[in-house]
Amino acid sequence: MRRIDKIIIHCTATNPEQDFNAKDIDRWHKAKKWSAIGYHFVIKLDGTTECGRRLEDVGAHAFGYNKRSIGVCYVGGVDMKGKPSDTRTDEQKRALRALLALLKNDFPNATIHGHNEFSKKSCPSFNVKKERYGN
């Protein structure tokens, strides 16, 4: 298993009426000539958590930080006008909290971050530090 020291949260930057899944994102990423979906987990609008890349495999989600991180992506992140917005459903919030608790159990020294801490993007469109996920 890889050494993991970060869990990085992302959004799909899609509006709250668009429900996508890991297979959709895999297709998008392969269209960019990536080998597969860049995230390890995807959380759908209804809170269903889907697997993307295997945890053993290096992700493609945060340039310069992929080797030692896990990428978690929720569907949404922009409003109907395309502006960054915390569009997480209650189900997504619960699923994200549960997934992060499991990951922290397996990787207790990993810290939790938003993608915007490593890139000039608004992703994941909410303040991860304020959520207090157990860093």
Does residue 125 fall inside a structural domain?
yes
pLDDT at 95: 98
What is the extent of the structural domain holding 48?
6-131
pTM higher than 0.85: yes
Distance linking the first and last C-alpha atoms of the chain: 22
Q: Is residue 65 annotated as part of the catalytic site, yes or no? A: no
Q: Please report where in the chains the tokens 């987990």 appear, as a residue.
A: 41
Which residue among the candidates 11, 39, 65, 133 is catalytic per the annotation? 39
Query: Within a domain: residue 1?
Result: no
| Average pLDDT, 10 consecutive residues per value, the chain (135 residues) | 95 95 97 95 98 96 97 97 97 98 96 96 96 78
Q: Is residue 37 part of a domain?
A: yes
Structural domain includes residue 18: yes
Catalytic, out of 10, 40, 44, 61: 10
Would you tell me how many other CB atoms lie within 10 Å of the CB of residue 47?
18
Structural tokens at position 120: 């000039």
Q: Which of 29, 44, 113, 123 is catalytic?
A: 123
The CATH number of the domain holding residue 122 is 3.40.80.10
How many domains is the chain built from? 1
Q: What pLDDT was estimated at residue 31?
A: 95
pLDDT of residue 133: 81
pLDDT of residue 135: 67
Cα–Cα dist 132/134, whole Å:
6
